[in-house]
Every structure is written in structure tokens, then in C-alpha cells.
């Protein structure tokens, strides 16, 4: 009888999901420099790490992920050459760019530059050439964010230069998951470098990835976007692999030029080994200050809503 049961048990074991090399979440706590962070297993949905993940923050050029997603949804020809033009896009007057106004490049190249090297004029050009222009583009951005369930998000322009482009870490996890349906975004954003030839006049430019981890041994980056402004601090979002898991990673508002990169390394090591890494004192002080500012802003908004509700007849 037992001999008959053994093959049956073997079949049942084959039907079970394979045990990956994914490790359990450590019981230790890893502090980070970023004011807000979240790490999620994209296959299981398990939240591996969260710190102030529901708070809205300026997200700087991370906005360009949604910009490109909206462009791809419009299904405009990727090989179409479009003119570098930012007319109608606010906040672009003093933006430095090597892309010359009036020259042309393929829409796909503009997408690549916006993602890989965070080219602001490329992102604004994509919005300018969207059906209906800039107003329709911003409407589409906010509609897409709402569709994805990004409840703490708002967008006013395509580049992220405005501090009014805000989202929470949990919102950006949802955006990262959505990009998995757009494999071109991962391909273009994770490239180490790219050479682009523009026309009218003809000239070529070399661009490089703003995320140094694409060049670092031991990292598998499937999609990435960096961001920085004075208001947003240093931001980094990725689809990558940690401790045998495919993960969506978000850190917002980190202090220091490479602190967001260091936070990624801290979480990767912590998830793999349980080892807790120290965070520099000045980075922790910055984080505490920014979290206090965020909380005060939220309190002020709540008080304003309360006063408005009381004043209604």
C-alpha cells in the first residue's frame, strides 16, 4: 500500500510551487537614510520593508516613468522623428540640455534618454508631441495614476522638476509593477549607455545611465529610474533582484549624492544576511528633519480641511 502512495506523493510535490532561494525577511531592522522607502516581492506581493511608505513626497525625475508609460499607451509610432520642442511645457526656460531646439530624433530615442539619463528636454518633447499637447498629457498622467491606484500622487508636468509632482513609496511600487507590462521600459532604462544621432542639423551625442548600479557586479537591474531636486532629495526606484527574490524597490528623499545607492546596498545585504549596516549620522539627522516637515505639512492640511468643513453652512 505504501509503495502506491509514494508515487502519488511525488506527483503532489511536483505540483507544488518550487522553493526558490528566497530567504525569509530578517527579524532585525535596517535603518535607511531615505525619508521614505518600500521593498516588495513582486511575485508574492509580500512587503519586505516599509518606512513612511504612505507619505507623499516630491519624486523629481522618477516622474518620467509615468511620462513614458503614458506615451507608450498612446501607441504613437516609436520610429517617428519628432522635433525637440518644449513649447507649452512649464518650467523649461532655464533647463540645461544638449538637445538642440528644432533638431529631430526618433520618439524611441527620446524615451530612452528620458529614462536612462533623465533628459528633461527629451521628456518635455514627448509631452509636447502627445495628442492634444501638454494639457491632454497631464490629464492622461493623472488619469493613469488613478487607474493604477496611486492614491497619494499628483502630477503637474512631465519631467519632475516641479516639487508639485508627488507620490508615496507605495504608489511607486504600483507604478513599478505596472511597467512590467511594458518590457521596452526595462530594456531602455537599464542600458549602461546610448549614442543618439539627431538631424537638422546632424549630430551625435553619447548618454550614460544615472544609476551606477547598472555597472556594478552582483546587481541585476531590470528597470531603474533616479531622481533629484533640492525639494525631492535623491530618489531611486528599481525592479531588481535581492536574496533570490524579484523585488520592487523605492527610496525617496535621501541625503547625499550616493546615499540612495547606499540604501539599496543596505537593503540587499540585510535581506540576504540579516546584517544591519550603519547609516551616517548626518544622513539620519536629515531624514528626521524631513520626516518632521512632512508630518507638519500633513497636519496643516488636516487642520485646513477641518476649518473648511466647520465653515460650511
Q: Which residues are annotated as a binding site?
A: 225
Catalytic, 277? Answer no
User: Which cell goes with 236?
Assistant: 531611486
Element (H, E) at 166: strand 166-167
- Among residues 257, 264, 256, the alpha carbon closest in space to that of 237 is found at 264
Contact predicate 166/153, CB 8 Å: yes
- Among residues 49, 24, 51, the alpha carbon closest in space to that of 36 is found at 51
Three-state secondary-structure class, residue 208 = strand
- Among residues 165, 144, 162, the alpha carbon closest in space to that of 153 is found at 165
Determine which one of 36, 56, 118, 153 is catalytic.
118
Catalytic, 118? Answer yes
Alpha helix locations (H) across the chain? 2-15, 63-73, 107-116, 120-128, 133-147, 169-179, 183-189, 259-273, 281-311
As annotated, the binding site for substrate includes 225
Determine which one of 36, 61, 162, 189 is catalytic.
61
Give me the residue label for grid cell 498622467: 141
Handedness of CA 281, 286, 291, 296 (dihedral sign): positive
Determine which one of 64, 144, 287, 290 is catalytic.
64
Contact predicate 250/237, CB 8 Å: yes
Beta bridge partners of 138: none
Non-local (6+) Cβ contacts of 51 within 8 A are 32, 34, 36, 37, 38
Dihedrals φ, ψ of 281, to 5°?
-60, -40
Catalytic residue annotation: 61, 64, 118
Amino acid at each position: 500500500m505504501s509503495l502506491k502512495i509514494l508515487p502519488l506523493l511525488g506527483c503532489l510535490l511536483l505540483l507544488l510551487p518550487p522553493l526558490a532561494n528566497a530567504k525569509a525577511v530578517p527579524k532585525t531592522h535596517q535603518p535607511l537614510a531615505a525619508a521614505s522607502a518600500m521593498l516588495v516581492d513582486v511575485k508574492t506581493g509580500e512587503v519586505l520593508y516599509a518606512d513612511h511608505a504612505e507619505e507623499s513626497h516630491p519624486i523629481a525625475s522618477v516622474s518620467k516613468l509615468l511620462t513614458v508609460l503614458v506615451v507608450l499607451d498612446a501607441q504613437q509610432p516609436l520610429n517617428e522623428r519628432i522635433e525637440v520642442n518644449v513649447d507649452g511645457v512649464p518650467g523649461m526656460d532655464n533647463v540645461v540640455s544638449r538637445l538642440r531646439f528644432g533638431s529631430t530624433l526618433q520618439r524611441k530615442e527620446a524615451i530612452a534618454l528620458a529614462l536612462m539619463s533623465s533628459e528633461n528636454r527629451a521628456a518635455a518633447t514627448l509631452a509636447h508631441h502627445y495628442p492634444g499637447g501638454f494639457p491632454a498629457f497631464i490629464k492622461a498622467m493623472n488619469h493613469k495614476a488613478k487607474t493604477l491606484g496611486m492614491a497619494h500622487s499628483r502630477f503637474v508636468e512631465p519631467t519632475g522638476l516641479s516639487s508639485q509632482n508627488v507620490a508615496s513609496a507605495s504608489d511607486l511600487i504600483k507604478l513599478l509593477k505596472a511597467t512590467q507590462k511594458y518590457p521596452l521600459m526595462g530594456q531602455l532604462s537599464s542600458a549602461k549607455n546610448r549614442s543618439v544621432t539627431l538631424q537638422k542639423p546632424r549630430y551625435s551625442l553619447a548618454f550614460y545611465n544615472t544609476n551606477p548600479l547598472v555597472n556594478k557586479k552582483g546587481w541585476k537591474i531590470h528597470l531603474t529610474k533616479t531622481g533629484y531636486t533640492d525639494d525631492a532629495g535623491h530618489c531611486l526606484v528599481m525592479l531588481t533582484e535581492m536574496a533570490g527574490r524579484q523585488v520592487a524597490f523605492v527610496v525617496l528623499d535621501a541625503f547625499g549624492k550616493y546615499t540612495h545607492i547606499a540604501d539599496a546596498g543596505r537593503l540587499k545585504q540585510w535581506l540576504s544576511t540579516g546584517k544591519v549596516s550603519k547609516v551616517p549620522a548626518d544622513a539620519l539627522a536629515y531624514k528626521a528633519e524631513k520626516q518632521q516637515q512632512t508630518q507638519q505639512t500633513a497636519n496643516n492640511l488636516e487642520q485646513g480641511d477641518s476649518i473648511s468643513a466647520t465653515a460650511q453652512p
